[in-house]
Amino acid sequence: MAKDYLGIPATSVPSERVFSSAADVVTSDRARLAPETIRAIMCLKHWYRSGILD
């Protein structure tokens, strides 16, 4: 019963995707971007891929 209610799946896939997409955005040429700019670029990239910006 405890496993049904207290079990947490051990997966790091969502966090790995975030770090992977951030590595695509923050290259050595873009290392000085402000955190807000990086966040905006990542949001735009996600929206474009999901079809929101079509």
Confidence of residue 1 (pLDDT cuts 50, 70, 90): low
- Rounded CA-CA distance 46/50 in Å is 6
How many helices (H) and strands (E) are present in the chain, helices listed first? Answer: 3, 0
Residue 51, pLDDT score = 86
Pick the closest to residue 38 from 7, 9, 46 (CA basis).
46
Q: Is residue 25 part of a domain?
A: no
Model confidence pLDDT, tens digit, residues 6-50: 666 666 666 677 777 777 778 888 788 898 998 898 888 888 888
Q: Is residue 44 part of a domain?
A: yes
Domain that holds residue 53: 30-54
Q: Is residue 15 part of a domain?
A: no
Residue 48, pLDDT score = 87
Indicate whether 54 pLDDT > 70.
no
Residue 22, pLDDT score = 75
Q: Is residue 51 part of a domain?
A: yes
Q: Is residue 34 part of a domain?
A: yes
The total number of structural domains that make up the chain? 1
Q: Is residue 37 part of a domain?
A: yes
